[in-house]
Chain A
Amino acid sequence: MKITKFLKTKGILLTTRNKEFYFLLIPSCIIILLFSFYPLLRGVYLGFTNYKFGVNKELIFTGLDNFFILFKDRLFLQSLGVTVKWVFFNVFFLYIAGFFIALLLNVDIKFKEIFRCLTLVPWVIAPVVRGLMWRFFYNPSYGVINVILKNMGIIDNNINWLGSYEYALPAAIFVNVWSTTPFVAVALLAGLQTIDLQLYEASSIDGANIFQKFIYITLPQLKVISITIIILLSIWTINAFDIVYVLTGGGPGGTTNLPMLLAYNEAFKYGRPGYAAAIGNFVLLFVIFGLGFSYLISKNRKEKL
């Protein structure tokens, strides 16, 4: 009895007066536990087994075996290299582009709402459609990209953007940056609007120019939100699937084969879900690392306040 009382005062168990609330909470809890929480744990576990679809073999716990195979798997090692480039350049350009647009949208001008609306357009489009659209624009013979670049005199001959070892990854990165920039811009714009304008006024009196204001006021004020955004973007880009699946399907020659594409193929094409889950676990390590890092930062900030 003492334990339940303790749990109630701590808000872990509901108090008797609030019992009726159980009925409202239970359906969602059961559904989440059964179809989200359990599958997640099970998925992590499967990464340590030899589980295969369509084979009536016993499920055997194989420990770290899958990981040892992973690090001898040429496809996976290649995918790791691709992933490093994919995440780095995506996050880098997303942050720069998002910041740039946020600064522009923060200036007090007419038609601000219209511009804000227009920059959000990619958001409205389903990820698959974004990928399909750009596949059309990248078309080697009559795609808009080739036509525009040729008219501008930047290239002489048509480029097979998605079909070449050299350009497929940059082309895919461009599409992902284009489609995720609205999120970064809006998040940073929200951050910009929380900055106390008096800081800028005070620095004006001290004779600071626009660049000094940016470096000594804007950037430090946005430090926390920037770190959060960068961590979130890193996690999202390492988990990316839709756009690249549609654009290149991982090719050519595996040059855009991100871990989730690899895992999807392993599980649902080659019937090796155990191995696929091991790839998922590997990515999970980075996700946990990122989340832990952002948790520490937010805790640190709260202590300072």
Chain B
Amino acid sequence: MLNKQKREIIKKTLVYFLLIIVSLIMAFPLVFMFSTALKSPKEIASTDLTIIPSTITYDNFHEVFYETRLVTGLLNSFKVATLTAIIASTLSLSAGYTLARIKFTGTSILQIWIVVSQTFPLILIIIPLFIILRTLGLLNQHPGLVLVYVVWAIPFSTWMLKGYVQAVPVEIEDAALIDGCSRFKMLYKILLPIIKPGIVATSLFAFILGWQEFFFALVVLRIPEKTTLPVLLTRFIGLEGMARWGPLAAASLVATLPALVVFLVFQKHFISGLMGGAVKQ
């Protein structure tokens, strides 16, 4: 019996040890970026590995906020991501509601379209889209990029919201309808408050998508004043591949913050949702 207990302890120690190594590899880069953002140029270029900077300086943050386009990029990204979130979740809510409540082939089409939009080479979509946006005069314009993101977010957002609506018993709706409430009023007064968490989650998904996306932004916004954060960050690297790493680290951290906050707040929700999806596959 003792032997078994011993083996259990050895096993758990080994698991802890391995998990610590794995966590280090996965999380260390972000920690190190944080420390780099607080270092002086001299310390960044030194070959002594320090996690806690010998002298903490906020120069890098000061520089990116006052001497680069970071603030413009932040505002652009915020504008694009917010508009994407609002429009995509509104459209997805009405579509998701419909697909949740009636038997309709649309559901299987939606499923197929989610797979298609996640797997098809983006270059095939972006070339005609580029031409369409150019014709509409939306190239180098934020609404153009928002349009692209909304289209891209809708399939998955609709799927998410459809799930949330399905979790609400249809009897509640019927009761309101029988009492003489119109369908739209019922949606607004009864269903919306119940599925609020789902709407928040979907909006955050669309927001993060708009905040982090790179490829479409690279193609659609080709003038510096209009670019969103991800494209702006790549401009920190000069022609010769020379980069000023301190400011770049500071700007990268600022860019990472929204997703990090969302993740920390909704961590449990996020993982269980993801695992649920994975099991269904």
Residue numbers of A with Cβ under 8 A of B are: 10-12, 14, 18, 20-21, 23-25, 27-29, 31-32, 35-36, 38-40, 42-44, 46-47, 100-101, 104-105, 107, 109, 115-129, 132-137, 139, 141-142, 144, 147-148, 151, 178, 181-182, 186-187, 189-191, 193-194, 225, 228, 232, 235-236, 239, 241-242, 245-246, 259-260, 263-264, 267-268, 273, 276-277, 279-281, 283-284, 287, 290-291
Chain A: which residue is nearest B248 at the CB level? A132
Interface residues of B in 109-130 (CB under 8 A from A): 113, 115-117, 119-130
A142 near B123 with CB under 8 A, answer: no
Interface residues of B in 13-38 (CB under 8 A from A): 15-16, 18-19, 22-23, 25-27, 29-30, 32-33, 36
What's the least CB distance linking B127 to chain A, in Å? 4
Determine whether B160 belongs to the interface, using a CB cutoff of 8 Å to chain A: no
Q: In whole angstroms, what is the CA distance A122 to B44 when docked?
A: 22
Determine whether B92 belongs to the interface, using a CB cutoff of 8 Å to chain A: yes
Chain A: which residue is nearest B93 at the CB level? A24
B121 near A21 with CB under 8 A, answer: no
A189 is contacted by which of B106, B127, B275 (Cβ under 8 Å)?
B275
What's the least CB distance linking A119 to chain B, in Å? 5
The 5 lowest CB-CB distance pairs between A and B, nearest first, are: A43-B124, A126-B212, A24-B94, A118-B23, A39-B128
Q: In whole angstroms, what is the CA distance A137 to B33 when docked?
A: 10
Determine whether B279 belongs to the interface, using a CB cutoff of 8 Å to chain A: yes
Q: A124-B260, A186-B271 are in contact. Are A43 and B123 (CB under 8 A)?
A: yes
What's the least CB distance linking A177 to chain B, in Å? 10
Determine whether B152 belongs to the interface, using a CB cutoff of 8 Å to chain A: yes
26 A-B contacts (beta carbon < 8 Å): A10-B105, A25-B94, A25-B99, A31-B151, A35-B129, A35-B147, A35-B148, A36-B151, A40-B116, A105-B19, A107-B11, A115-B19, A125-B30, A127-B214, A129-B230, A136-B33, A136-B36, A139-B245, A142-B45, A147-B49, A239-B121, A245-B214, A246-B234, A259-B121, A268-B219, A277-B124
Chain B: which residue is nearest A248 at the CB level? B241
Determine whether B58 belongs to the interface, using a CB cutoff of 8 Å to chain A: no
Please give, as numbers and ranges, the residues of chain B lying within 8 Å of A245 by CB-CB distance. 214
Chain B: which residue is nearest A51 at the CB level? B127
A126 near B255 with CB under 8 A, answer: yes
B29 is contacted by which of A14, A137, A232 (Cβ under 8 Å)?
A137
What's the least CB distance linking A7 to chain B, in Å? 9
B98 near A120 with CB under 8 A, answer: no
Q: In whole angstroms, what is the CA distance A128 to B99 when docked?
A: 35
Q: A128-B230, A129-B255, A242-B215 are in contact. Are A28 and B154 (CB under 8 A)?
A: yes
Chain B: which residue is nearest A31 at the CB level? B151
Q: A35-B151, A260-B123, A287-B120 are in contact. Are A28 and B128 (CB under 8 A)?
A: no
Determine whether B206 belongs to the interface, using a CB cutoff of 8 Å to chain A: no
B248 near A136 with CB under 8 A, answer: yes
What's the least CB distance linking A131 to chain B, in Å? 8
A119 is contacted by which of B22, B122, B263 (Cβ under 8 Å)?
B22
B233 near A122 with CB under 8 A, answer: no
A191 is contacted by which of B26, B103, B245, B279 (Cβ under 8 Å)?
B279
Please give, as numbers and ranges, the residues of chain A lying within 8 Å of B113 by CB-CB distance. 32, 36
Against A, the Cβ 8 Å flags (1 = close, 0 = not) of B232-271 are 0110110000010100110010011001100100010001
Please give, as numbers and ranges, the residues of chain B lying within 8 Å of A43 by CB-CB distance. 123-128
Chain B: which residue is nearest A20 at the CB level? B183
Q: In whole angstroms, what is the CA distance A136 to B125 when docked?
A: 32
What's the least CB distance linking A150 to chain B, in Å? 8
A109 near B15 with CB under 8 A, answer: yes
What's the least CB distance linking B138 to chain A, in Å? 11
Majority SS of interface residues in chain A?
A: helix
A36 is contacted by which of B19, B26, B125 (Cβ under 8 Å)?
B125
Please give, as numbers and ranges, the residues of chain A lying within 8 Å of B233 by CB-CB distance. 128-129, 132
Chain A: which residue is nearest B32 at the CB level? A144
B267 is contacted by which of A24, A42, A105, A117 (Cβ under 8 Å)?
A117
A121 near B151 with CB under 8 A, answer: no
Please give, as numbers and ranges, the residues of chain B lying within 8 Å of A276 by CB-CB distance. 123, 127
Q: In whole angstroms, what is the CA distance A240 to B151 when docked?
A: 20
Determine whether B188 belongs to the interface, using a CB cutoff of 8 Å to chain A: no
What's the least CB distance linking A226 to chain B, in Å? 11
A126 is contacted by which of B23, B124, B211 (Cβ under 8 Å)?
B211
Please give, as numbers and ranges, the residues of chain A lying within 8 Å of B91 by CB-CB distance. 27-28, 31
Q: A182-B26, A239-B122, A284-B121 are in contact. Are A11 and B148 (CB under 8 A)?
A: no
Of the candidates A14, A20, A121, A132, the one having the most CB atoms from chain B within 10 angstroms of its own CB is A132
What's the least CB distance linking A75 to chain B, in Å? 15
Chain A: which residue is nearest B29 at the CB level? A133
Further contacts, 20 of them, CB under 8 A, given A124-B260, A132-B237: A14-B102, A14-B104, A20-B183, A24-B98, A35-B148, A36-B113, A101-B22, A122-B26, A125-B256, A133-B30, A135-B237, A136-B36, A141-B45, A186-B271, A225-B278, A236-B119, A267-B123, A268-B219, A283-B121, A284-B120
